């Protein structure tokens, strides 16, 4: 039984006009008609890639036959298709993308006879003639009887009617296999392929309560389907992690750095293992129920809901080397919490956007900033900047630069930290750029004990009283 | 005959697996009440925004009443803002919670109508140009919409709109899943049939706000009245009407890391292209006349910079019944408009937010030594107003950034002195407002010596006004040099020359940068 109408069958039905039977209509495979998909499973990776498995009940004839697969992803990577059905051996797999269009139709008619219908512009009367298409090169040259004419040379209306749609021209790209079956009959056949156009990330809603020092976090996985196809009633599995796609030819492939970028929000990576299912190093997030992922749809499903995680607000200001400012600059507001099982969220977090909300005086949650989260192992310490503080500011000033010798310089820095809030705050003041090129910088003197974070940066934890100010001075010595 | 076919087809479609599982759809058409909190575009300058190009956003919170059936249901929310960022949406108040949230963006368009009907029966209707009579034939769509349309009719196979006859396609219905605008819906499961009030909260683009200050200097030139409008604009088209809404605005800089425009993505509407076979004739020399290109998408309404009308206040002070109330929101400042207001599409609204009278201020002329500049032409100085943002100095409140018009009272009139901007200023900070260049008070810088050991500059301030002019000239630090001059003061973390230039007089200073 053919999966599609054959052209002849279609023409016959069309000519019969009303003779369509229910069984035949059920086989059209486009919108408004049932999908040809069977039992679909979709595994979606973060980086715009999905593995689709589809088990269809196919009636395969005995011997050699050709099977088409409608309703696969419109962006399928056809070379990744694998097909298996009991008792059927594959001879070849084909992906045909010669698409039907008016010009293709005319080009394929070269040497063949078509019907032309002329309409008399004065009376509207129609005359029909048989014409042979001689050539289609910039224009259409016809032979009508013994005359040679160019189609619509006089600009008058001429309908061209072709007998049939040429073989191998299709409305959409078509995937097919040729198989040799040892028996006839319906059996489950499974196809599996990779497709771009499906991706997912996480979106978090974090309601921060500064008074109680807690944060409530809801996590949603966000699926996007731009693959051009609807996956009906699919068993969906999300994989948190990146599978390298270096080999994939793509026009809009993002630059892939040779090593992953270091995380800016992860203070210390965790060492705990979440109770979630893992595959290799990837965490798996299966959706609880089957779902239909419609074309052009963004779907969100909840995966995390944790209340009352301890969290602290803080401030951070990072100054570049020799950066000086003639007015105070806002410090970053930072929210810190842990993903540990004890005193934290207690889960591994897939990468995504985390949006912070705080309640206003009337109790309504208001948006207070967002940040990006990397894939975060359980047990990590997170420090997420939510924006710039209106009332907490830092003015860095280069007081003096002294040349001690040809290879030694002394830099005197002053930092004015101000706090217009009615409560005391602590600002993490970071001076960066201590390790550039061949230079080597150390702190010679300072008004407050610093902590050398790494070769490049020192940090002071500076307490600033309510509605007050604190000054930090430091002298750096640099050797070249 | 024909109706029977359609009945059969409909019956079939009804029996498809996806339809069999369909859940009841509950429509929520409009909110009962809403609250709109507007956030600035923090990438733009401090001054006013352009209402043709609003890059800020808003947090919209809507209360809606819905009737839920028992069991599974889909709730579709209509009347949301066009710029809705669906991934940020939160729905609270449902007895069974939210199982999934969906945003569908398959839009109804000529191309999607054709695409969705591919392989199905449509009708082709031709009109006789002479008699006006129409004839209709059934046809099955065999290709489209990317590269022309091929139809299969009882006559044979034809291409649409290649014959030169007026012909059009007529469809029997809209394919399933196509909608006029992107739609947002959720799946929920309610233990029993009930009527509930839910809150839908989401971020939406196409908003912006700014403070619009008017500083009116009193006739004595010693105090000013500072007034500010809270100016909010909503650039969303349809579906962003919020009648009697609570309007709030947030000052400060919440961080924004995701690409809001990409998240809004208003749904793709593919172009319908009707191309034909080559149409060259003997008179065109073979070059096929290209079909007219599809019209380009309508350009953004010409972004004419919209001047903000500063209503000249009469001498009798204007009265404001509603003044926005300020509160702290974490490290941000929240302004609440105390009365419900209508937030309408493509509209700008102003409510009073700051009103301070008799704020003392001082005027000085600001300039700077430019060590790299060898020229000795005189430069005009910047007239600057200075206030202290403290309670005892008449202010003492957070001042969010925005445009600032400086007016001066003159008799019963007011004149515009400067059109400038205010930066975000916290309580306790000093507020310095650049109010234009003064051609009357000028600075001349002369490089006297440029040697190995030292650089020597002479600064001359000249004052052509009838009063004393206070000047503050910043003296920058140079790496590897010590700065030496008479009577230098500390200012803004650097050194400065502070001097009062007498009326119709001059002031001079020599500055030496000595190499260490």
A414: in domain: yes
pLDDT bin (cut points 50, 70, 90) of residue B328 is very high
ipTM for the complex shown: 0.80
- Evaluate whether residue A1 is within a structural domain: yes
**Alpha carbon A247 to chain centroid, angstroms:** 18
Question: A276 and A346 in contact (C-beta within 8 Å)?
Answer: no
Compute, in degrees rounded to 10, the torsion defined by CA atoms A376, A381, A382, A388: -170
Distance, in angstroms, between B96 CA and closest chain A CA? 13
The pLDDT, as a whole number, for residue B101 is 92
Residue B117 near residue B178 (C-beta atoms within 8 A): no
Structure tokens at A77: 């990577």
B61 in contact with chain A, both atoms CB, cutoff 8 A: yes
For residues A91 and A220, state if they share a domain: no
- Residue B364 in 3-state DSSP? strand
Cα distance between residue A390 and residue B16, in whole Å: 58
Residue A147: C-alpha distances to residues A125, A143, A144, A226, A347 (Å): 22, 6, 5, 52, 81
Task: Say if residue A96 is in the same domain as residue A10.
Answer: yes
Report the gap between the CA of B418 and the closest CA in chain A (Å).
22
Check whether residue A174 and residue A205 sit in a common domain: no
What tens digit of pLDDT does each residue of B97-112 get? 898 999 888 888 888 8
- Indicate yes or no: CB of A366 within 8 angstroms of CB of B474: no
- Do A273 and A168 belong together in one domain? no
CA neighbours closer than 13 Å in the CB half-sphere of residue A307? 0
pLDDT tens figures, B50-73: 888 888 999 999 999 999 999 999
Chain B contact present for A113, CB below 8 A: no
Predicted confidence at residue B317, as pLDDT, reads: 64
Residue B391 DSSP symbol = G
A206 and A318 co-located in one domain: yes
Asked if residue A343 is part of any domain, the answer here is: yes
Matching residue, tokens 């750029």: A433
Three-state SS annotation for A289-314: CCEEECCCEEEEEEEEEEEEEEEEEE
B503 inside 8 A of chain A by CB: no
Contact B268 A296 (CB under 8 A): yes
A297 CB near a chain B CB, below 8 Å? yes
- The DSSP symbol for B19 reads H
Angle, vertex CA B475, rays to CA B473 and CA B481, nearest 5: 165
CB contact at 8 A, B273 and B148: yes
**How distant, in Å, are the alpha carbons of A44, A223, A244, B120 from that of A254?**
18, 20, 12, 39
Residue B129: DSSP 8-state: T
Whether residues B275 and A302 touch (CB distance < 8 A) is answered with: no
Is the pLDDT at B312 greater than 60, yes or no?
no
* φ/ψ (deg, to 5) at B18: -65, -35
- Residue A360 sits at the chain B interface (C-beta within 8 Å): yes
Query: A480 CB near a chain B CB, below 8 Å?
Result: no
How many Å apart are CA B139 and CA A169, to the nearest integer?
18
One digit per residue, pLDDT tens: chain A, 480 residues?
A: 333 433 333 333 333 333 333 333 333 333 345 678 899 999 998 888 899 999 999 999 999 999 988 888 888 888 898 898 998 888 988 888 888 889 889 988 999 999 999 988 888 888 999 999 999 988 899 999 999 999 988 888 899 999 988 887 888 888 889 999 999 999 999 999 999 999 899 999 999 998 899 999 999 999 999 888 899 999 999 988 777 655 444 444 343 333 445 556 777 777 777 777 777 778 888 888 899 999 888 999 988 899 999 999 999 999 998 888 889 999 999 999 999 988 888 888 888 999 999 999 999 999 999 999 988 888 889 999 999 999 999 999 998 888 888 888 899 999 999 999 999 999 999 998 888 767 788 899 999 999 888 888 899 999 999 999 999 999 999 887
Question: Contacts of residue B144 in chain A, CB cutoff 8 Å?
Answer: 171
Q: Are residues A437 and A478 in the same domain?
A: yes
Tell me if residue B12 falls in helix, strand or coil. helix
Residue B212 CA to chain centroid, in angstroms?
16
Interface check for A393 against chain B (CB to CB < 8 A): the answer is: yes
3-state SS, chain A, equals CCCCCCHHHHHHHHHHCCCCCHHHHCCCCCCCCCCCCCEEEEEEECCCEEEEEEEEEEEECCEEEEEEECCCCCCCCHHHCEEEECCEEEEEEEEECCECCHHHHHHHCCCCEEEEEEECCCCCCEEEEEEEEEEECCEEEEEECCEEEECCCCCCCEEEEECCCCCCCECCCEEEEEEEECCCEEEEEEEEEEECCEEEEEEEEEEEECCCCEEEEEEEEEEEECCCCCEEEEEEEEEECCCCCCCCCCCCCCCCCCCCCCCCCEEECCCECCCCCEECCEEEEECCCCEEECCCEEEEEEEEEEEEEEEEEEEEEEECCCCCCCCCEEEEEEEEEECCCCCCCCCCECCEEEEEEEECCCCCEEEEEEEEECCECECCEEEEEEEEEEEEEEEEEEEEEEEEECCEEEEEEEEEEEECCCCCEEEEEEECCCCCCCCEEEEEEECCCCEEEECCEEEEEEEECCCEEEEEEEEEEEEC
Decide if A132 is inside a domain. yes
| Domain membership flag for residue A49 | no
Task: Give the per-residue pLDDT at B9.
Answer: 37
CA dihedral A360, A366, A367, A373 (to 10 degrees): 80
Return the residue of B nearest to A335 by Cα: B330
pLDDT over 60 (residue B4): no
Among candidates A286, A259, A242, which has minimal Cα distance to A375? Answer: A242
Q: 3-class DSSP state for residue B86?
A: strand
pLDDT at B505 over 80: yes
User: CA B251, B257, B262, B263 torsion: positive or negative?
Assistant: negative
Put simply, whether A437 touches B (Cβ < 8 Å) is no
Q: Which H/E stretch holds residue B9? A: helix B2-14
CA distance B6 to chain A (A): 10
Q: Is residue A311 part of a domain?
A: yes
Q: Do B18 and A233 touch (CB under 8 A)?
A: yes
Q: Do A165 and B128 touch (CB under 8 A)?
A: no
Q: What is the pTM of this model?
A: 0.81
Is B391 an interface residue toward A (CB < 8 Å)?
no
Distance between CA atoms of residues B398 and B354, nearest Å: 10
Calpha distance A245→A253 (Å, rounded) = 9
Q: How close, in Å, is residue B411 to chain A by CA atoms?
A: 37
- Number of domains making up chain A: 2
Q: Which among B61, B102, B257 is the nearest to A372, CB-wise?
A: B257
Residues A184, A206 within the same domain:
no
- Partners of B410 in the β-ladder: B413
pLDDT at A251: 42
Please tell me which residue of chain B has the smallest CA distance to A353: B258
Among A12, A34, A15, A17, which Cα is nearest to A25's?
Answer: A34
- If asked whether residues A25 and A159 sit together in one domain, one would say yes
Q: What is the pLDDT of residue B427?
A: 93
The 3-state DSSP class for residue B77 equals strand
Average pLDDT, whole number, for chain B?
83
A174 and A68 part of one domain: yes
- Which pLDDT score is estimated for B251? 93
Written in H, E and C, the secondary structure of B372-384 is CCCCCCEEEEEEE
B114 to chain A, any CB pair closer than 8 A? The answer is: no
Out of A25, A203, A220, whose CB is closest to B9?
A25
* Structural contact between residues A42 and B23, judged by C-beta atoms closer than 8 angstroms: no
In this structure, the answer to whether residues A66 and A153 fall within a common structural domain is yes
Q: Which of A26, A172, A326 sits opposite B492 (nearest CB)?
A: A326
Separation between Cα atoms, residue B46 and residue B55, nearest integer Å:
14
Q: Count of residues for chain A?
A: 480
Are residue A168 and residue A259 in the same domain, yes or no? no
Residue A420, domain member (yes or no): yes
Nearest to B105 among A155, A296, A302 (CB): A296
B9-53 pLDDT per residue, tens: 333 333 333 333 567 889 888 889 999 999 999 888 767 788 888
Lowest-pLDDT range of A322-326, A434-438, B212-216, B425-429 = A434-438
| R_g over Cα of chain A | 34
Confidence of residue B265 (pLDDT cuts 50, 70, 90): low
Place of tokens 């054959």: A6
What's the sign of the alpha-carbon dihedral B239, B241, B246, B248? positive
> Which chain A residues are Cβ-neighbours of B137 within 8 angstroms?
none
The three-state DSSP-derived secondary structure of B261-293 is HHHHCCCCCCCCCCCCCCCECCCCCCCCCCCCC
Q: Does A410 share its domain with A339? A: yes
Element spanning B112, H or E: helix B110-116
Cα radius of gyration rounded to whole Å, chain B: 34
Residue A48 within a domain: no
Per-residue DSSP letter, B393: G
Range of the domain at A116: 1-32+58-189
């Amino acid at each position: 039984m053919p999966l599609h109408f054959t052209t002849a069958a279609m023409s016959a039905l069309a000519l019969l006009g009303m003779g369509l039977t229910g069984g035949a209509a059920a086989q059209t495979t486009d919108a408004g008609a049932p999908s040809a998909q069977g039992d679909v499973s979709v595994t979606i990776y973060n980086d715009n890639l999905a593995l689709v498995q589809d088990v269809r009940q196919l009636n395969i004839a005995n011997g050699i036959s050709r099977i088409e697969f409608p309703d696969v992803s419109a962006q399928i990577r056809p070379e990744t298709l694998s097909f298996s059905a009991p008792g059927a051996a594959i001879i070849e797999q084909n992906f045909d993308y010669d698409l039907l269009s008016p010009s293709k139709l005319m080009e394929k008619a070269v040497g063949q006879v078509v019907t032309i219908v002329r309409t008399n512009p004065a009376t509207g009367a129609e005359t029909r003639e048989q014409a042979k298409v001689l050539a289609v090169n910039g224009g259409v040259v016809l032979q009508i009887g013994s005359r040679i004419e160019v189609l619509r040379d006089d600009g008058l209306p001429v309908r061209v009617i072709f007998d049939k749609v040429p073989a191998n021209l299709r409305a959409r790209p078509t995937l097919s296999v040729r198989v040799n079956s040892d028996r006839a009959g319906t059996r489950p056949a499974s196809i599996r392929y990779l497709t771009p156009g499906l991706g997912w990330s996480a979106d978090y809603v974090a309601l921060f309560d500064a008074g109680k020092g807690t944060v409530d976090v809801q996590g949603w996985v966000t699926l996007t389907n731009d693959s051009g196809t609807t996956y009906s009633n699919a068993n969906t599995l999300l994989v948190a992690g990146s599978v390298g796609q270096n080999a994939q030819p793509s026009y809009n492939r993002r630059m892939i750095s040779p090593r992953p970028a270091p995380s800016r929000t992860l203070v210390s990576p965790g060492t705990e293992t979440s109770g979630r299912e893992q595959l290799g190093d990837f965490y798996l997030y299966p959706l609880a129920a089957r779902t239909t992922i419609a074309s052009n749809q963004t779907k969100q499903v909840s995966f995390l809901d944790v209340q009352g995680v301890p969290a602290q607000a803080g401030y951070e200001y990072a100054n570049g080397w020799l950066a000086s400012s003639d007015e105070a600059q806002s410090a970053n507001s930072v929210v810190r919490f842990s993903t540990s099982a004890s005193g934290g969220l207690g889960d591994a977090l897939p990468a995504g956007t985390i949006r912070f909300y705080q309640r206003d005086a009337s109790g309504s949650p208001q948006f207070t900033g967002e940040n990006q989260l990397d894939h975060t192992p359980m047990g990590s310490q997170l420090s997420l900047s939510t924006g710039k503080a209106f009332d907490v500011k830092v003015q860095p000033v280069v007081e003096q630069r002294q040349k001690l010798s040809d290879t030694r310089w002394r830099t005197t820095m002053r930092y004015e930290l101000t706090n217009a809030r009615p409560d005391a705050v602590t600002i993490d003041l970071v001076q960066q750029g201590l390790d550039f090129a061949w230079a080597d910088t150390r702190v010679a003197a300072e008004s407050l004990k610093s902590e050398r974070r790494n070769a490049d940066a020192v940090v002071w934890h500076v307490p600033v009283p309510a509605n007050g100010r604190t000054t930090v001075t430091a002298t750096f010595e640099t050797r070249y | 005959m024909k109706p029977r076919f359609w009945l059969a087809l409909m019956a079939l479609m009804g029996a498809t697996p996806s339809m069999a599982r369909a859940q009841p759809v509950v429509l929520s058409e409009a909110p009962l009440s809403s609250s709109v909190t507007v956030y600035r575009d923090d990438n733009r300058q401090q001054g006013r925004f352009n209402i043709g190009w609003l890059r800020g956003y808003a947090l919209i919170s809507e209360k809606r009443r819905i009737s839920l059936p028992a069991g599974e249901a889909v709730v579709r929310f209509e009347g949301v803002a066009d710029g809705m960022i669906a991934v940020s949406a939160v729905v609270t108040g449902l007895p069974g919670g939210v199982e999934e949230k969906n945003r569908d963006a398959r839009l109804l368009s000529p191309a999607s109508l054709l695409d969705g009907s591919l392989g199905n029966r449509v009708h082709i209707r031709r009109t006789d140009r002479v008699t006006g009579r129409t004839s209709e034939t059934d046809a099955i769509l065999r290709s489209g919409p990317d590269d022309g349309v091929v139809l299969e009719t009882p006559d044979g196979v034809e291409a649409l709109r290649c014959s030169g006859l007026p012909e059009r396609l007529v469809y029997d219905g809209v394919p399933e899943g196509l909608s006029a605008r992107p739609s947002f819906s959720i799946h929920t499961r309610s233990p029993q049939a009930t009527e509930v009030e839910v809150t839908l909260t989401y971020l939406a683009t196409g908003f912006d706000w700014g403070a619009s200050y008017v500083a009116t200097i009193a006739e004595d030139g010693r105090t000013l009245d500072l007034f500010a409008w809270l100016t909010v604009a909503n650039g969303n088209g349809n579906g962003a009407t919020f009648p009697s809404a609570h309007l709030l605005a947030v000052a400060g800089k919440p961080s924004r890391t995701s690409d809001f425009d990409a998240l809004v993505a208003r749904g793709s509407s593919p172009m319908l292209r009707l191309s034909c076979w080559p149409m060259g004739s003997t008179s065109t020399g073979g070059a096929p006349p290209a079909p007219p290109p599809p019209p380009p998408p309508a350009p953004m309404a010409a972004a004419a910079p919209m001047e903000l009308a500063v209503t000249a206040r009469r001498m009798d002070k204007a009265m404001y019944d509603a003044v926005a109330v300020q509160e702290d929101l974490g490290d941000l400042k929240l302004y609440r408009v105390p009365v419900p207001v209508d937030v309408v599409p493509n509209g700008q609204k102003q409510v009073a937010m700051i009103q301070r009278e008799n704020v003392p201020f001082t005027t000085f002329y600001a300039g700077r030594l430019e060590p790299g500049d060898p020229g000795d032409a005189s430069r005009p100085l910047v007239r600057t107003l200075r206030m202290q943002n403290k309670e005892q100095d008449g202010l003492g409140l957070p001042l969010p950034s925005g445009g600032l018009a400086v007016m001066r009272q003159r008799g019963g009139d007011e004149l515009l002195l400067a059109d400038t901007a205010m930066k975000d200023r916290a309580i306790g900070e000093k507020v310095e407002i650049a109010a234009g260049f003064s051609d009357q008070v000028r600075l001349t810088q002369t490089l006297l010596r440029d040697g190995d050991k030292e650089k020597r500059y002479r600064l001359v301030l000249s004052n052509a006004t009838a009063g004393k002019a206070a000047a503050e000239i910043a003296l920058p630090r140079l790496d590897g040099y010590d700065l030496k001059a008479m009577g230098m003061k500390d200012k803004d973390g650097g050194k400065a020359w502070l001097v009062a230039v007498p009326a119709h007089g001059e002031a001079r200073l020599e500055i030496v940068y000595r190499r260490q």
